[in-house]
Each structure stands twice: as structure tokens, then as C-alpha cells.
Chain A
């Protein structure tokens, strides 16, 4: 068993959303989430929009200051609310990087591709002189499937797939160990999506990277991840090895999520029994008491309204939070 590179415990992220004094309201974006990512593995995080998966990724990098909880990176505590630890992140920024979802909004339109990729190199003083910097940028561009002449161009001259490659080159520029991939392929066409997913896998093999791969498309996440965590309304509801999760999911939400995915196989699509969830996701401003999934869950009873289900291990390496695990068959 390899050691943990990143670990979060009881991570909580509330955003103020108006109101004064006692009436002050909070969007409970992430609430009591704990997980660990092992060195060299890919942890996938799935869920519907607004379930807090992106916030989890960003809070983990301390792009948002957590409301509560602990973040541990490579054995060092980066943040601990209770013990009032909050270290300077700059040295860690070199080791932890992020690739954003929208390749159109995440590149500065006034900077050339070379400068975008080189910015991290400058900040962390990774290259001794201009020549070395230039060579490094070119080799990074080549590594992600672009070429040297692209360095002097601007983002608007590129297609979505190429921009996403620039975003990846920028993340790789500082030789990180850990990358948060925040929906990196969602904005791309299917045929381009496969190119980028393959590139992520190749880079991981070559450079021994560790990923937190966030996406709403369960098929993509399952393809790339070793383990998958499923989130619903700010809570982690199930976490397991990716094959185990798809084949033997135990949480009712995970089950309906899997059955809701349209299968690209007509015969199977005709045979499949889908569990169609009724209603919409409740507002994170005022989430349901107890289990947050209970308003849409077919198994919900009084206990679900009264008690928050514990996130516990149901079999080796398979975690879930539900009161009715025995009933869900």
C-alpha cells in the first residue's frame, strides 16, 4: 500500500450569502468531507452541478480558505482550523497545480502562449537564464502536442482542445507532483476529449503524477480513475475503487446516477431499467436535515430526517453514508 500524498479531514467550506446577524445565511458548499489520495493514483470526484466537487478541489489547494477542517500534503499540515495552522502556500504552489474547466476563460487573452506557460517558471525561479526558459517552454508545448511556433501566438488563435493543452502545459511548467483537474474535458468535443484524456494518462505514467479528477461525466471519470468519490449536495456519499463503484454501488444516489447515464449501445439501452429520480437538487442554502439525499431517495424514512448518516466502511476500501444499506438491493 502506497502512502497518502494528500489528505483532507472534515473539510468544510461555507460561503456567506447575505443576511445580517442571526439571519446570516451560508451556502454550505462542502460539509464534512474526508478522503485521502495516494501517491501516483487518480481519485475521481463526480456529482451533479452544485454538489461541491469544484469547491472541494479548490479548497484543497487553498484557493479558498476552508471554513473548517484539516488539509495534509505529503505529511505536512497545510491547514488546520482547530490548531490555527495556515502555512505559506507559495512553496506548495509549485508542487500542487490545477487545470481549469473552461479553456476559454482560464487563459489571459493578452498574454502569448509562451508567457502563459512561462509565468510559473518565472515566479518560482526555475530557470537560470532566458535561453533555458525558452527551451523549457518549447519542450512543454511539444509534450502536450503543440509546437514551438505556437509560443508566440495568443489564446484566441487556438481551438478549445488546443487551449486545454496550453492549460495543461502551464500546470506542468513547475514540475508538480499533484494536479487538480477540474472538469478538463467537459467543454471539448467527443473526439478531442479522448485525445486529452489519453494525454493525461500518458503524463501520469511518464511523470508519476497524482490527480484529483473532477467531472460530472461518470464514464470519463471511471475510465481515468483508480478510485471514485461521489458527492451530493456538499457531502461525500460513496467512495470506492472505480470498478467496484460501478459494479457494486451501495448508495441509492450512486445507483440512480449510474442508471441515468445514457448507454451508447442501443440493445442495452432498450433493456436497461433506469431509476429516474424525481424532483431537483435542494438548495445548498438550506439543505435537508439528516441525510441530504432523503428528499429524493426512494428509501427515506424518519431516521433519515433525524440523523446524519455516518460515512463508514462497508467492505474493504468501500465507503458509504446511508442508513439503509441493507435495503438497497
Chain B
């Protein structure tokens, strides 16, 4: 059994905006072992990025943790100061952002930006750091690393920049890599290259990855476990097979049905999820998905459903599943 590196319990996080409190996370709990690849899927505003950013302490003002605990690799994140965060960022946990065009500094060379991380977190000399930077570029599959180190971000293509981002993220061999929509801004053929690279590196380096994406295809290919988020809640959690072949939450089912299948034999109509995403300023009282749910019951509108465990690895928050458990004579409330 590998060791647990991340444990989040009942995390609550809000953004205090002039318009009111936006509850971005409403009791998120999950844990990860060393070497796990977890996919977090959900629509924009569902809290998937916020969850991951909070592990690095990147949810600055007006965001504030209002409850729960986050343990990462022996650190209690929710009690950490900015100074302590700086020691783990880029070192024990690092991140790849969605848009490689804007996340690299345009006025520093690629080499400078990689070396910066290495010098900050290790005791390497400048020469050793540059040698390591070259090694990293080779690792992420960039040709002519010596020349590339001297180039500026605008001289590289989108796919190359994302490779550089990955090189920076891997510079100190982090325990956990957070990939926030790493391929959304890239074309499919380039996306395939980057995903292949991430898969290779993961096996080589044995790190854990949190993959944030809205693309179910990407998670199916990359992840072992999936957390489906909606309006700041994890509504369903399970292994990739459980989520895809035995989805239990109505939102997960809707999500899977609403994507067109490339290999469908004949034309079939898409089944969309009707309605609009929730307004987090005024979230509904009960289950957040209830206003858009086809099988919504009375209780769904008033009370948040409790957890229903379907197997050791699979759980969901839905009143329908509770009802089934109850009818089976299970231990439901």
C-alpha cells in the first residue's frame, strides 16, 4: 500500500465579492495516494480549479478557506503562512496552467525561467542548474535544448510552450503535479503529444497527478480515479470504469450522454442537460443539481443528499440512490 499524500476533509472555500459571498467549495473531501492519477471534471465554475489551487495556497483575496482541513505530504495546508507555501510551491507540488501563452514570462528566456525554480529550491550551483535545465528540456522532448534555452516564449509554438511549462513544473521532481486543463488551448494532434508525454513522465517519475479538465475523453485516457464536481460539491467519485460504465449521479449520466460519440454507427440525437448552470451567489437549498435534474423529487429541493457508498471506491450524493438503498432494506437514513 502506497502512502497517502493528500487528504482533503470537508473543505469549504468562499470568495467574498462586492456582490456577496460566492461559495466556491461546499464540503469537498477526497484523498490521494502516491502515484495516483485523479481526474476532476466539471463545467466552468464548478470549483475544480479552486480545489486544486487551494492545495498550493493560490486562492488569494477575496478567496478564503472557511472550514475543513487539507493535509498534503505532512503539511497542514489550511494553517500555513505565505512564507511556508513558498517552500513547497514548485518543489513538492507544482502546477501546469491552461494557457501556455500567458503563463510564461515574455521578457525572460526559457532557460532563465527553468533555472529560477531550480536555484530557489535546491542547493545546486548555477552551472549545475543550467545543466539540469537542459536535461529537463530533453526529458519533455524538445529538440536542440541548448538553442531553446536561450529563446524567449514568443519564439515557440503553443505545444512547445506547454512542454516548457511541464519542464518547469518537473524541475524539482514534485510529489504532486496539478494539471489545470493542460491541453484545452492546444490542437488535437498537439494534445495527443502532450498527453502521451505526461503519461510517460508519470511512469518514469512516479508522481501523482491531479488532472483538471472538462473533456471526458482526456480523463478516460489518463486517469484512474475521477471526481465529478458540480457547484462546489463532489457529486460522484469513483474509478474511471465505475464513472463511465456505471454512473450513479444524474449529472454524471447527463454529462456522458451529452457528448457526441465519434464511433456511433448511426445518427442519434444528443441528450443535453436542460437549464443553466447554478448561480453560486444564490445556490439552491437542497441538491445543487436539483433544478436541472430530470428525476428531481421533493426532498431534493430542500435537503442536501447524504453520501451513498456503492463500493469501496465509488460514492455519490443523490437522493435517488438513497431511496434505492432504503428500498433494498439497507442502512439508509
Interface residues of A (CB under 8 A from B): 48-49, 159, 161-162, 189-195, 197-198, 201, 216, 218-220, 222-223, 243, 246, 256-269, 274, 276-278, 280-281
Query: Are A194 and B270 CB-contacts (below 8 A) given A161-B276, A256-B189?
Result: yes
Which residues of chain A come closer than 8 Å to B256, judged between CB atoms? 264
In the complex, chain B residues 8-65 whose Cβ is within 8 Å of any chain A Cβ: 43-44
Q: Which of B81-89, B114-122, B171-179, B260-268 contacts A (4 or more CB under 8 A)?
A: B260-268
Q: How far is the CA of A171 from the CA of B188 in the complex (A)?
A: 30
Within the complex, which residue of B189, B240, B245, B265 is in contact with A260, where a contact is CB–CB below 8 Å? B189
Q: CB distance B262 to A190 under 8 Å?
A: no
Which residues of chain B come closer than 8 Å to A256, judged between CB atoms? 189
Q: CB distance B188 to A189 under 8 Å?
A: no
How many A-B contacts if CB must be within 8 Å? 126
Q: CB distance B262 to A219 under 8 Å?
A: yes
Q: CB distance B192 to A265 under 8 Å?
A: no
Q: CB distance B244 to A276 under 8 Å?
A: no
B6 at the interface (CB under 8 A from A): no
Ordered by A's residue number, 5 sampled pairs between the chains whose C-beta atoms are within 8 Å are A190-B43, A194-B271, A197-B270, A219-B259, A223-B264
Closest Cβ of chain A to B298, distance in Å, is 24
Which residues of chain A come closer than 8 Å to B260, judged between CB atoms? 194, 197, 219-220, 222-223
Query: Are A261 and B188 CB-contacts (below 8 A) given A190-B258, A193-B258, A219-B259?
Result: yes
SS of A interface (majority): helix
Within the complex, which residue of B157, B159, B255 is in contact with A191, where a contact is CB–CB below 8 Å? B255
Q: CB distance B159 to A280 under 8 Å?
A: yes
Within the complex, which residue of B241, B258, B261, B277 is in contact with A159, where a contact is CB–CB below 8 Å? B277
B160 at the interface (CB under 8 A from A): yes
Q: How far is the CA of A48 from the CA of B241 in the complex (A)?
A: 31
In the complex, chain B residues 142-198 whose Cβ is within 8 Å of any chain A Cβ: 157, 159-160, 187-193, 195-196
Query: Are A191 and B221 CB-contacts (below 8 A) given A261-B188, A262-B195, A280-B157?
Result: no
Within the complex, which residue of B192, B214, B216 is in contact with A276, where a contact is CB–CB below 8 Å? B192
Other A-B pairs beyond A197-B260, A220-B260, A276-B193, 18, CB < 8 Å: A49-B187, A191-B43, A191-B277, A194-B271, A194-B273, A197-B270, A216-B187, A222-B260, A223-B267, A223-B270, A246-B262, A258-B262, A260-B188, A260-B189, A262-B191, A264-B220, A266-B244, A269-B221
Interface residues of B (CB under 8 A from A): 43-44, 157, 159-160, 187-193, 195-196, 214-218, 220-221, 240-241, 244-245, 254-256, 258-265, 267, 269-274, 276-277
Which residues of chain A come closer than 8 Å to B217, judged between CB atoms? 261-264, 269
Query: Are A276 and B157 CB-contacts (below 8 A) given A190-B214, A194-B271?
Result: no
Q: How far is the CA of A189 from the CA of B230 in the complex (A)?
A: 13
Q: CB distance A191 to B254 under 8 Å?
A: yes
Q: How far is the CA of A246 from the CA of B265 in the complex (A)?
A: 10
B157 nearest in chain A by CB position:
A280
Q: How far is the CA of A220 from the CA of B264 in the complex (A)?
A: 12
B190 nearest in chain A by CB position:
A280
Q: How far is the CA of A278 from the CA of B192 in the complex (A)?
A: 10
Which residues of chain A come closer than 8 Å to B269, judged between CB atoms? 198, 201
Q: How far is the CA of A227 from the CA of B33 in the complex (A)?
A: 47
Query: Are A280 and B160 CB-contacts (below 8 A) given A262-B215, A264-B220?
Result: yes
Which residues of chain B come closer than 8 Å to A194, judged between CB atoms? 258-260, 270-273
Which residues of chain B come closer than 8 Å to A268, judged between CB atoms? 263
Closest Cβ of chain A to B163, distance in Å, is 11
Query: Are A216 and B188 CB-contacts (below 8 A) given A191-B255, A191-B258?
Result: yes
Query: Are A263 and B220 CB-contacts (below 8 A) given A48-B187, A48-B189, A219-B259?
Result: yes
Closest Cβ of chain B to A173, distance in Å, is 24
Which residues of chain A come closer than 8 Å to B264, judged between CB atoms? 223
